Amino acid sequence: MVNKVSFTIVDVFTDTPFEGNQLGVFTDARRLSSAQMQTLAKELRFSECAFVLPAERDGHARVRIFTPSEELSFAGHPVLGTAFVLASPMQLGVINLETASGTVPVVLERDGTSISFGRMSQPHPHVEQYDRVGGLLVALGVKRSVLPVETYRNGPLHIMVSLSRAEEVAALSPDMVRLAAVVGDACVSCFALDGTRVKSRMFAPGMGVEEDPATGSAAGPLALHLSRHEVIGWGDEIEISQGTEIGRPSKLLARATGGDDENGTIEVGGSARLVARGEFII
- When the pLDDT of each residue in the chain is averaged and rounded to a whole number, the result is 95
* Among 5-14, 94-103, 259-268, the least confident range: 259-268
The CATH number of 4-123+270-281, from 3.40.640.10, 2.70.170.10, 3.40.50.720, 3.10.310.10, is: 3.10.310.10
123 burial type by CB count under 10 A (0-12 exposed, 13-18 middle, 19+ buried) = buried
Does residue 78 register a pLDDT over 90?
Answer: yes
The residue annotated as part of the active site, out of 48, 98, 150, 267, is 48
pTM score, whole prediction: 0.95
Sequence spans of domains, the chain:
4-123+270-281, 126-268
Tell me the mean pLDDT in the region 43-72: 96
Does residue 68 register a pLDDT over 60?
Answer: yes
Catalytic-residue membership of 48: yes
- In this prediction, residue 208 carries a pLDDT of 86
Tell me the mean pLDDT in the region 206-235: 96
- 207-to-46, 101, 102, 178 alpha-carbon distances in Å: 12, 19, 22, 14
> 126-268, which class in CATH?
alpha beta
